Structure 1
Amino acid sequence: MNEDNTVSDDLKRQAAMFYNSTEREKPKEQMSWRFWRKRRLLVALLAFFGFFNVYALRVNLSVAVVAMTEPVETELENGTIVYIPEFNWSSQTKGLVLSSFFYGYLVTQLPGGWLAAKIGGNRVFAIGIGATSLLTLFTPPLAHISTGLLIAVRVVEGLFEGVTYPCIHAVWSRWAPGGERARLATFAFSGSYAGTVVSMPLCSLLAHYTGWPGIFYVFGIVGLVWTTIWWLVVKESPEKDPHISAAELKYIQDSRGTQAVEGSKIRHPWRAMLTSGPVWAIVMAHFSENWGFYTLLTFLPTFMQDVFKFETSQTGWLSAVPYLAMAIVLQFAGHLADWLLKRGILSRTNIRKIFNCGAFLSQTIFMVAAAYSTSVVGCIVFLTIAVGLGGFAWSGFSVNHLDIAPPHASVLMGLSNTVATLPGIISPPLAGSIVKDKTAEQWRIVFFISSAIYLLGAIVYGWFCSAEKQPWVIEADSDASFDTDGASVTTTRGYDNKAMEHSEM
């Protein structure tokens, strides 16, 4: 009897300890403002700033080239004052300089995706941005030596930045729970547009107060600082993060599915992937969105100067407005997509189709409206709506790789971004050859081409899109046991915090 009482007392004490420890931990998990306690949110935040740097480093030349080629006061040897540009480039040369980045960017998409799938996307992501930041610091002196060296360094920068988009899908294939893919991915991608919003006006200010070389020095240093932080904080997978809670780790694994973390021999079914309708729907959508985006990203400052006679310091501010809208819409669209999926209001496939095709059709209309606008206010309003609605498209095609083939998502992103890089190579020289006299009529043709491509993208994606895991998907070999660096798959107390499933960004 005494033994029974002793056992009963021990059970009561253990139950009390379990209850008290659970109650102590609940407030910690519910303090959502402490985002670093939810490590996937910290990864998303740092990825946001990573893409911020990706586009700040990419767009800097679009504003700098205006300052580099506008006439400046120059005193000749005989004392005569003349106004001549520092770099007297033709429209074709300017288009080549602006598009040179994409020649390198095109090459490393698929290799970057393959490498990320093999060794993990976190390290390759950091190396890509870090190397680009370092090369950016050398851009001004090389530009002063020769235009050829400027083009060469931009090509090499493109080679390193080319791995970034495929790599982040390798990160999300391991870090993103199934029900949070849209919000986590679009939050990270919105950093691209935030980077554009901040860098365009800041580039204008730097060009005005420090001269155009200051643009490259500032953003190069910022990129190197980010690289250091990402390298130290972000791990290859949640299983490798020593600071992740056991509850969050289990939630991610249960939602994502177990998969090999390292050393897995992932085999990609290339023939099946390259003949898959849903894959090419993503590729076409990515191409269409990037055509309009790259055209505006590269030439919007020049367009504002040619058509509305804005100065360099003003073009950066006005050109940033559409991308601010995109950054905001991306947040809303990602959360809305996941909410609709969670509530069962629409199927995953219909969510992707409606968000993507609806955005493309709207962008077709507003790009045409912008082409016929006769006032700067009207033009900026229409372009802002057109670019902003692209946020819904990104909640469609940009996470679709993870829907149809999670183990192969980084390679599929490499494939789609390879084709989607072609607009960055084709559209600047094409626009440069069309806009020879800098007239509104010639710029109108550029906008018409973008509208037609948006419409084609809507048709193809609407017809072939799917968000169901494809039958050709090959899962990586996995082991039920994980090295969790101190964070076990299940808690030693045997409970899991279900509130993790409802956390918000």
Structure 2
Amino acid sequence: MRLRRERTKEKESNDRTWFWQQRRYVVALLAFFGFFNVYALRVNLSVAVVAMTEPVETKLDNGTVVMLPEFDWDSKTKGLILSSFFYGYLVTQLPGGWLAAKIGGNRVFAIGIGATSLLTLLTPPLAYTSTALLIAVRVIEGLFEGATYPCIHAVWSRWAPAEERARLATFAFSGSYAGTVVSMPVCSLLAAYTGWPGIFYVFGILGLVWTMIWWLVVKESPEKDTLVTPAELKYIQDSRGSQIDGSKIRHPWRAMLTSGPVWAIVVAHFSENWGFYTLLTFLPTYMKDVFLFDTSQTGWLSAVPYLAMAVVLQVAGHLADWLLRRGLLSRTNVRKLFNCGAFLCQTVFMVAAAYSTSVIWCVVFLTIAVGLGGFAWSGFSVNHLDIAAPHASVLMGLSNTVATLPGIISPPLAGAIVTNNTAEQWRIVFFISSAIYLFGAIVYGILCSGERQPWVSQTPSPAAGYENSAMDYSSEM
């Protein structure tokens, strides 16, 4: 109790300082914009492909003007192009998590987004050259982006106090949905006013600007950041516990791969991503097929569910940490309540959306379904840090590897099902997502744990291997 009171006083002292004076919040804010770029760079093709395959006025050699698409792709080809990103994304999850634990998540995060941004700038000329080159560049983009989610847990394992894991992690992750919200309508506007290549040029440049800022500002750990105050450093170290030098971490692979709580996270991550990737990839097309919306409208309407997700993530993260801080529920029960409750609700509202005959009700149901996923992210997405903080980046790499499979399977599957662009065929796609949400809720409810696992080895004394000039002078708490 005495230790808890001391930590509470330290936190209250930290809370009284300005936002930019608390370096962990600066890291969280820049991570938010990092994930903003991650999803803006990922979702751009989902909107661009609609514009790329829309009929446009074309003058033939004989002078006749006809309406022809710039790229004559059928639904299966579009599904292959949209899923190609995930073939690369799948490969680098575990290596990215391992590398982040060794050399620092901050560096891997910057390299992943920076390289993807550069490749995005090359997308239009490669698309004009051949469909094969377009697919190839998307695969390579996936290779670089694959490391981003695992490596951010390496950052949080060093920067996040135990009492703030959910809010810091979910705030950063909410950048993904903010990026989706902004990029979908902006991509629609860019396609309408500058042509679809403008989509890739604008977001590629923004990604490179962010990469430079992150590289200069964010350090591997608070011990290596000379701008962190002694008060904040002590608060993080006392709450976070001791750290082990990244180069000395040894991962207990057998224990991790046979752990029930680990597989609870893996299944939950897979289930959430199935529904998310299905909608992320095909929602603009669905709006066009079923409700006859044009390109400029699909981007705006498709963004609404992700706006809800971005907002709910903030609420869920703070609520989860508040329940833990007040001792109202155990860490395990908080994770189960948020994750399983969200999945069960998503099951219901995805079915409701499938039977909607009005665009308004369809958007309402999808907004609720996607938005409630914010509670799930306060369950499984921070659970890696609960059960094994030193190995969190590798565990995120494992869960995100499996959770990438929906991005590979779902678009071609939807393309094979939706051959005539009818509401009945799209309904099957929604039913599959609902069933997978239900499966994830059951497995996570049975196997989840929020406690440090016995196979996590003890680490050396606090701040082992680190020095920080901020500790050379005293500071008022």
Q: Which amino acid aligns with 1:383?
A: L
Which of the residues 43, 56, 60 maps onto 2:40? 56
Q: Which residue of 1 aligns with 2:320?
A: 337
Separation in 2, partners of 1:296, 1:266: 38
Deviations 1:369-398 (A, max 9, x none): 000000000000000000000000000000
Which residue does the alignment assign to 1:289? 272
- 1:467 and 2:450 equivalent? yes
Does the CA contact (< 8 Å) of 1:106 and 1:162 recur in 2? yes
Q: Alpha-carbon deviations, 1:211-249, whole Å to 9, x = none?
A: 000000000000000000000000000000010000000
**How many residues were matched structurally?**
468
- What's the offset of the Cα at 1:440? 0.1
Kindly indicate whether the alpha-carbon contact (under 8 Å) linking 2:308 and 2:371 is maintained by their aligned counterparts in 1: yes
1:270-419 pair list within 5 angstroms: 270-419=253-402
Q: Which residue of 2 aligns with 1:242?
A: 226
> Highest Rg: 1 or 2?
1
1:215 maps to: 199
Shift in Å, 1:77: 1.7
TM-score, structure 2 as length reference: 0.96
Stretch of structure 1 that moved more, 251-260 or 160-169: 251-260
Residue 165 of structure 1 contacts residue 413 of structure 1 at CA under 8 Å; is this kept in 2?
A: yes
AA at the equivalent of 2:355: Y
Paired residue secondary structure (2:470): coil
Q: Helix, strand or coil for the counterpart of 2:321?
A: helix
Superposition map of 1:13-412 within 5 A: 31-32=16-17, 34-262=18-246, 264-412=247-395
Report deviation, 1:486: 1.1
2:474 aligned with 1:492, yes or no? yes
Aligned to 1:17: none
Which SS does the other structure have where 2:227 is aligned?
coil
Aligned to 1:429: 412
Q: What is the letter of the counterpart of residue 212 of structure 1?
A: W
Which whole-Å CA distance do the structure 2 matches of 1:342 and 1:477 have between them?
A: 26
Q: How far is the alpha carbon of 1:31 from its aligned partner?
A: 4.9
CA distance in 1, matches of 2:419, 2:12: 64
Q: What is the CA distance between 1:80 and its match in structure 2?
A: 1.2
Q: 1:29 to 1:474 in 2, by over 3 A?
A: closer
Q: Is the 8 A contact 1:268 1:474 kept in 2?
A: no
CA separation in 2, counterparts of 1:484 and 1:477? 15
Partners of 1:330 and 1:28 lie apart in 2 by: 26
Preserved contact between residue 353 and residue 465 of structure 1 (Cα < 8 Å): yes
Q: Is 1:241–1:484's contact at 8 Å kept on the other side of the alignment?
A: no
Following superposition, the deviation at residue 492 of structure 1 comes to 3.2
Cα contact 2:123–2:137 (8 A) shared by 1: yes
Q: Is contact 1:265-1:476 (8 Å) kept?
A: no
> Residue in 1 aligned with 2:425?
442
Percent identity among equivalent residues?
Answer: 82
In the alignment, the residues of structure 2 paired with residue 414 and residue 30 of structure 1 have an alpha-carbon distance, to the nearest angstrom, of 32
Q: In 1, are the aligned partners of 2:56 and 2:68 still within 8 Å (CA)?
A: yes
Q: Which secondary structure state, in structure 2, belongs to the residue aligned with residue 303 of structure 1?
A: helix
Give 2:83's aligned amino acid: S
Residue 481 (structure 1) shift: 5.7
Q: Distance in 1 between matches of 2:15 and 2:22?
A: 10
SS at match of 2:248: coil
Residue 438 of structure 2 corresponds to residue 455 of structure 1? yes
Post-superposition offset of 1:476: 4.2
Tell me, yes or no, if the aligned pair for 1:48 and 1:192 is still in contact at 8 Å: yes
- CA displacement, residues 50-73 of structure 1 (integer Å, 9 cap, x when unaligned): 000000000000000000001111
User: Given that residues 267 and 474 in structure 1 are in contact (C-alpha distance below 8 angstroms), is that contact kept between their aligned partners in structure 2?
Assistant: no
Report the CA distance between 1:457 and its aligned residue.
Answer: 0.2
Partners of 1:217 and 1:405 lie apart in 2 by: 40
Q: How far apart, CA to CA, are the structure 1 residues paired with 2:188 and 2:67?
A: 20
What displacement does 1:260 show? 2.8
Aligned partners of 1:74 and 1:84 also within 8 Å: yes
1:84 CA drift (Å)? 0.6
Gaps of 5+ in 2: 1-10
C-alpha displacement at 1:75, in angstroms?
A: 1.2
In structure 1, the residue matched to 2:7 is none
Instruction: Measure how far apart 1:254 and its partner are.
Output: 0.3
Equivalent position amino acid for 1:317 in 2? W
Summarize deviations over 1:230-277 as a string: whole Å, max 9, x none: 000000000000100000000000000121345x41010000000000
2:470 counterpart letter in structure 1:
A
CA distance in 2 between partners of 1:270 and 1:185 (Å)? 25
Which residue of the partner structure matches residue 8 of structure 2? none
8 Å contact from structure 2 (residues 32, 173) kept in 1: yes
Distance 1:89 1:469 in 2: 50
State the distance in 2 between where 1:44 and 1:481 align: 24
Kept in 1, the 8 Å contact 2:96–2:147? The answer is yes
Q: Distance in 2 between matches of 1:208 and 1:393?
A: 36
Task: After superposing the two structures, state which structure 1 stretch, 466-475 or 448-457, moved more.
Answer: 466-475
Distance 2:252 2:118 in 1: 36
The Cα RMSD (Å) is: 1.6
Structure 1: segments with no counterpart, 5+ residues: 1-25, 498-505
- Partners of 2:184 and 2:299 within 8 A in 1: yes
- Aligned in 2, Cα 1:480/1:395: closer, same or farther, shift over 3 Å? closer
**Maintained 8 Å contact 2:14/2:231:** no
